[in-house]
Structure 1
Amino acid sequence: MNKDLKSNGDLNWLQLFLCGGALFSMHFGASSMVWPMNWGKESGTSVLPAYAGAFITSLLLVFIAYVALARGDGSYDKITRRVLGDRFGKFYTRLTIAILGPFYAIPRMSAAAWDSVIQAFGLNPDNKIMLVIFTVVFYVITYFFLMNPGKAMDRISSILFPVLLVIVILIVGKGLLYPIATPLEKVYEGSAFAYGFTNGYATAEILCALIFGVVIFNTLKNKGVEESKMTRNMIKVGIVGIAMLSITHLAHMLIGASTGTVFKDLYYTSLYTAVAMRLFGTVGGMLFSGALLLAALTTAIGMTSGCAEFFVDTTEGKYNYKQCSIVILILSVIFGSLGLTSILGILGPILDGIYPAAIVLVLYYAITPSLMDKKRLNACRWAMYASFVFGMIDMVWKYLVKLNLNPGGIVDLYESIPLTKSSLAWMPVAIISFIIGWLTYKAKNIDSEVDAEMEKIDKKDSSYKKNKGTQI
């Protein structure tokens, strides 16, 4: 029996805590660390209902994503192609991995960390050479933690997680014990719950979970967890990690609410840095900068590892784990050197556009009985197609707004659709499409070619449960 396992083959409590801590660290990242404090600041006395809304979309749905992977018994690529078919499924998963990986989310980690370093140490924000040097060093360190995909979470849990946890406890502890000011009324119109719900949705953490799933799987397999016990151990790790994340989200939102008008014109990274410096002086700014650097690093490690495994799998071993990791990190250096503002402005709407279909996929695999029932798969396929198309329309709308364009009045027309401004207009469309797909399904229309395609997908060695020699 592996020493990391209990007598029944499950992870022991220490290993479960460390794996959950690594999962927490990967999700904590730059956005999950700094966004909640901003939500709290803007919510003020309405911080608790705002947290309730954010909990559903930025925490509960993320946990459901891990349940979906466990119930789907496969990788993100595999469970997607079961629904969308081989051709479009490959297109969608590769698009999301490319955007979530080297073209947006991974570079965003180093860029956000750099913004904090600039503020905490009083550096010149226009010094591009220093930005490039910082970015290169950041991803060289990331590569060190990626040298063995099965041990990526172990390195995070044993090296980065403890340090990150201590820094966060220091900042959160003093922030809760010594409030900076008195909370004010919320600064936005509408309900606080809706505000939290839509802002939590904007974190796009579900896509991260779909990628991190393979990192968890490799870790558990490396510890000797058998396939028959994999599902429940993955869910246990998800519960521990998301529970930690839920506590820190609430604490940061409460601290943000307690800032009142002290930092009226500061947001996100700047707000958090200012709070840390108010609580601990210059040392506080350095503490936060170090915490954000570690949080961003753990997220970059998890994303790069998951993305590399994905491309190894989808290229059927044509490229190995090391090659994929290097290419991803080189691209991350290039895009990370653009700076956070450029990354968010240029590529942010694309991420918002591909996100709705992923939510439909996760909810289907998490809550639907008889996952392989063709009638249910057909309904989910309709809902994913509709949400993807609507997401692309939403992406175009956001670019038009950014460019201050309104050709033919289409921006005004789109904004007249309910829920558009909260980026949730796709939801009723997806529900209606699911119903249509359910009602229009006819078994005789599912011919032997479709059956053969599904059988090919399920039999193909595209899950991460088989050893394909991806170790370096």
Structure 2
Amino acid sequence: MNGKLKLSSAIVIGSMLFGMFFGAGNLIFPVHMGQEAGTSVWVATIGFLITAIGLPFLGVVAIGISRSSGLFDLASRVHPTYAKLFTVLLYLTIGPAFALPRTATVSYQIGLAPYIGSDMQTMSLAIFTFVFFAVALFFAMNPGKLMTYIGKILNPLFLIFLAILLVTALIHPMGSISTAPVSGDYQTMAFFKGFTEGYNTMDALAALAFGIVVVKAMQAVGVSELKDLAVGMVKSGIVVVILMVVIYAFLAYVGASSLGVLELSANGGIALAQTASYYFGSVGAILLAIIVTLACLKTAVGLFCACSETFVELFPNSISYKKYVYLFGLISFLIGNVGLTQIIALAIPILMLLYPLTITIILLTFLAPIFKGRQAVYLSTTIFAFLAAIGDALNTLPAFLGKTAVVQQALQLYHGLPFFDLGMGWIVPSAVGFVLGLIYIAVKGSNKPAV
């Protein structure tokens, strides 16, 4: 039966969306951004909200209105080979390469690191990540019960405690944001720095990976028409948007105001743990550690399942689902022991490459009626976005790579691009590629549609 999405169903699906999106990065990055942005925190937060909330929301809606069966199907509008490469790289990024290791390292950073001496940090991180991923792998083999248990009990507990922390920090701030120092690029381009900082949540990437889950959930309650699916996506998304806007704004405020007492931390995990200890002492810090660890465990189980199932579908003649789970667990363990700050530094160049491609495929999905879904427009826009995004990625490499002669010579080719110094040198080339695609199909007239 066809119909519109009811309010009760929209709330349930919206809650599911929130559960999928809100993980480790959603906690630590707005806090660290607030610490770095200082008095410019609200300008930076606006930029952050666009990429951390706006793009994921559009990504989910794009899956709905495109009638795609998933990320691979959507990216195939560019080219099948590109679709496979893009899908693999995206799932590795939100999986064992970066996001999965981060679930363990954030839990460790908040839960154990403050209570362990510097000489024991390396060994303690190794033991913790081993146990964390062993438990995650165990439940990833049959995650249904754990996901239900955490979704109904632990997530609400986490939100309740986080609300207590944030409200306490709002009523009794550590300092005034009007006098908080501004660090680095936030001094001159707070909005654009916040915009690119939102990349770190990886939620726009996850939206393309998990959007089909939302579509199936709506179809299960009787919503199947294209228009009703799109409207249903918006209804469910409003629940997530409101909740995340409030949480992100409060977390950024806590980060900025904390500079009245705390020093600028190396990452948001440290700052969040220090904030909990400041307001509630050891009891509050321990409770926060337990809830964050369990929340991250839920995320880890979900990512193990999603990545392993996707690789089985992409490569049906390779290895089994369980072997993929073990393989990704081993990779996550090894990368997790690099440390949270290092993981963030290594992830940024990959995100600077993937996000332009993600943004363009989302926008092209909405613009498809203008060019009737012609493949040439998808292809030309993506090529130009990719070539420009390489420069943005190279420009954010860690110093030991970014300062090499080869990289510096390559960057000379990109410095003339508009917005390159803001980390968004891909914008104008992507627009040029889009226009060239339109010109091509206008001249040729017979280019096949991508859908």
CA distance in 2, matches of 1:28, 1:254: 18
Gaps of 5+ in 2: none
Aligned partner of 1:433 in structure 2 is 433
TM alignment of 1:152-167, pairs within 5 A: 154-167=148-161
In structure 1, the residue matched to 2:41 is 47
What is the aligned partner in structure 1 of residue 89 from structure 2? Answer: 95
Shift of residue 233, structure 1, vs aligned partner: 4.0
* Alignment deviations for residues 169-193 of structure 1 (CA, whole Å, 9 cap, x no partner): 1211211111111222551322433
Q: Percent identity?
A: 27
Using the size of structure 2 for normalisation, the TM-score is: 0.86
Q: Paired residue for 2:249?
A: 250
* 73, 91, 102: which one aligns with 1:78: 73
| Residues 76, 210 of structure 1: 8 Å contact kept | yes
Contact 1:172–1:252 (8 Å) recurs in 2: yes
Question: Are positions 1:142 and 2:140 aligned together?
Answer: no
Partner AA of 1:199 in structure 2: E
Aligned partner of 1:466 in structure 2 is none
Choose which of 56, 63, 67 in structure 2 pairs with 1:62. 56
Q: What SS does the corresponding residue of 2:391 show, helix, strand or coil?
A: helix
Q: C-alpha separation between the residues in 1 aligned to 2:85 and 2:279?
A: 48
State the 1:321 CA deviation. 4.5
Per the TM alignment, residue 413 of structure 1 is displaced from its structure 2 partner at its CA by 5.3
Relative distance call for 1:372 and 1:315 in structure 2 (3 A) is farther
Instruction: Give how far 1:279 is off.
Output: 1.0
Shift of 1:357: 0.7
Question: Alpha carbons of 1:305 and 1:54: their partners in 2 closer, same or farther (altered >3 Å)?
Answer: same
Instruction: Quote the Cα distance in structure 2 between the aligned partners of 1:189 and 1:49.
Output: 11
Post-superposition offset of 1:308? 2.6
**Aligned equivalents of 1:351 and 1:194: distance in 2?**
15
Aligned equivalent of 2:379? 381
1:406 aligned onto 2:405: yes
For residue 330 of structure 1, report the CA deviation from its aligned partner: 3.2
1:392-403 pair list within 5 angstroms: 392-399=390-397, 401-403=399-401
Structure 2 distance, partners of 1:262, 1:338, is 29
Comparing 181-190 and 116-125, the one that deviates more: 116-125
Of stretches 61-70 and 278-287 in structure 1, the one that deviates more from structure 2 is 278-287
In the superposition, relative to structure 1, how do residues 49 and 354 fare at CA in structure 2: closer, same or farther (>3 Å)? closer
Counterpart of 1:200 (choices 198, 201, 206) is 198
C-alpha spacing 1:240/1:130, structure 2 compared with 1 (3 Å): same
Q: Does the residue aligned with 1:175 lie in a helix, a strand or coil?
A: helix
Offset of 1:107 from its aligned partner? 1.3
Tell me if the contact between 1:33 and 1:292 (Cα under 8 Å) persists in the aligned partners.
no
Seen in structure 2, the aligned counterparts of structure 1 residues 126 and 390 have a Cα distance that, compared at 3 Å, is farther
Q: Which runs of 5+ in 1 are unaligned?
A: 2-6, 459-472
Closer, same or farther in 2 for the Cα pair 1:393/1:110, shift >3 Å?
A: same
Change (3 A) 1:199 1:290: same
How far apart are 1:219 and its partner, in Å? 5.0
Q: Distance in 1 between matches of 2:300 and 2:371?
A: 34
SS at match of 2:97: coil
State the Cα distance separating 1:117 from its structure 2 match: 2.3
Partner of 1:352: 352
CA offsets per residue over residues 409-455 of structure 1, 9 Å max, x none? Answer: 444554454422332011111111111111122575757xx67xx5x
> Quick check: 2:13–2:236 contact (8 Å CA) kept in 1?
yes
Letter paired with 1:130: S
Cα 1:191–1:86 change in 2 (3 A) is: closer
The letter of the residue matching 1:42 is E
CA contact (8 A) 2:218 2:224 kept: no
Structure 1 CA distance for aligned equivalents of residues 302 and 10 of structure 2: 17
Structure 1 residues 29-428: aligned runs within 5 Å: 29-74=23-68, 75-82=70-77, 84-122=78-116, 124=118, 126-143=120-137, 145-147=139-141, 154-183=148-177, 184=179, 187=182, 188-217=186-215, 224-225=221-222, 227-228=224-225, 231-266=230-265, 267-316=267-316, 321-365=321-365, 367-370=366-369, 373-375=372-374, 377-399=375-397, 401-403=399-401, 404-407=403-406, 409-411=409-411, 414-428=414-428
Q: Distance in 1 between matches of 2:23 and 2:119?
A: 22
SS of aligned partner of 1:179 = coil
Q: Tell me which residue corresponds to 1:464.
A: none
Larger mean Cα displacement after TM superposition, 345-354 or 204-213: 345-354
Q: Which contiguous aligned blocks of 4+ residues in structure 1 show a shift greater than 6 angstroms?
A: 149-152
Distance 1:20 1:154, change over 3 A: farther
Per-residue Cα deviation, 1:323-350 (whole angstroms, up to 9, x for no partner)? 4434333332232233324433444422
Output the TM-score relative to the length of structure 1: 0.82
Whole-Å separation in 1 of the counterparts to 2:307 and 2:218: 18
**More displaced 10-residue stretch of structure 1: 64-73 or 49-58:** 49-58
* Cα distance, 1:134–1:11 mapped onto 2, change above 3 Å: farther
Aligned length: 441
C-alpha distance in 2 between matches for 1:386 and 1:314: 26
User: Partner letter of residue 40 of structure 2?
Assistant: S
Could you tell me whether the CA contact under 8 Å between 1:212 and 1:302 is conserved in 2?
A: no
Higher deviation after alignment, 242-251 or 295-304? 295-304
Distance 1:260 1:121, change over 3 A: closer
Separation in structure 1 between the aligned mates of residue 13 and residue 373 of structure 2, nearest angstrom: 36
Residue 468 of structure 1 corresponds to: none
| 1:37 Cα offset (Å) | 1.8
Aligned amino acid, residue 44 of structure 1: G
Alignment check: 8 A CA contact 2:199 2:351 kept: no
Change (3 A) 1:237 1:42: same
Q: SS of the counterpart of 1:102?
A: helix
Please give the secondary structure, in 2, of the residue aligned with 1:181. Answer: coil
C-alpha distance in 1, partners of 2:399/2:304?
A: 32
Give 1:255 shift: 1.8
